[in-house]
A = this chain, B = another copy of it.
Amino acid sequence: MSGSGALRIHISDPADPRVAGFMSIKERDLTGRQGLFIAEGTVVLRMLAAAHAMGRGIVADAILILENRLSGVDEILAAFPADVPVYVAAASVFDAIAGFNMHRGVLAIGRRDGMAGRDALLDAVAPDALVLAACGISNHDNLGSMFRNAAAFGVDAVLMDETSCDPMYRKAIRVSVGSVLSVPFAREGSIAALIDQLQAKGFAIWGLSPRGETELHDIPPSPRTALLVGTEGEGLPAAILSSIRTARIRQRPGLDSLNVATATGIALHQVARINGFV
């Protein structure tokens, strides 16, 4: 076992108060409580270590590892500072603490601690920037997928309105493969206020809609582009669509449009390509 990084603490009693935070986490949603969140699996744990090290307001509170997974994550654990406790438990104890596993024996509790808000993120973006703006995204799978796409295509920030769901819900983090921890984001305020702010910052704003005026491939390059997506089904509100330029993804006519995360991926790929972000 490596001596680097955080201290290992063996847990033999599932009722040990030091691991109370992990008790039956599958049953609960921590996101409402003190900004806590759950990171599951080695890939996400690695992202959490990187986020913690970056000092952007995402920190690890505690880690819980299944004993026989320890050697496999040793190098990741070494990346956390020594004051983050690493609890280690045998399978029976681990299962008694954390319940039936989706996490494959690798869990962490993280916490938001001073994350930048929308204003600060927009003040900090580079002169060349790509922003994903989202309105009313209520499905955690879709939001997680959108973050994964945002990471793949070099998005500088994901800016959600207050009606969108929390990307730090565990399902969203999992589906994002940890990208929620690497792509800066803010979730606050109205979409109208966000559009005003993006315009003031010189962003070309393109709303994605099946009835968009411009074909996706005709969007011109711009140093700063914001792609705006709404929820599947209803899409973006008409008042919003009428205040910005809109783009459509060419597809077969039919009852049903693309999944919102897939549409976001297709549009981000194109916009990132023409603006040199990939």
Contact = CB atoms under 8 A, between A and B. Distances in A.
A51 to B, nearest CB: 14
Contact of A255 (B43, B149, B217, B251): B43
Interface residues of A, number: 32
A28 interface: no
Contact of A151 (B252, B265, B273): B252
Contact of A152 (B178, B217, B251): B251
Interface string A218-261: 00000000000000000000000000000001111011111101
A251 B278 contact: yes
Contacts of A154: 251-252
A273 B149 contact: no
Contacts of A9: none
A258 B149 contact: yes
A164 interface: no
A144 to B, nearest CB: 10
Given A262-B145, A265-B265, A266-B265, A273 B256 contact: no
A259 to B, nearest CB: 6
A258 B177 CA distance: 10
Given A217-B273, A262-B145, A265-B262, A152 B255 contact: no
Contact of A148 (B46, B152, B259): B259
Given A153-B251, A153-B252, 13 more contacts: A43-B256, A145-B262, A152-B254, A152-B256, A152-B257, A152-B258, A179-B256, A249-B269, A250-B273, A252-B277, A259-B265, A262-B265, A265-B265
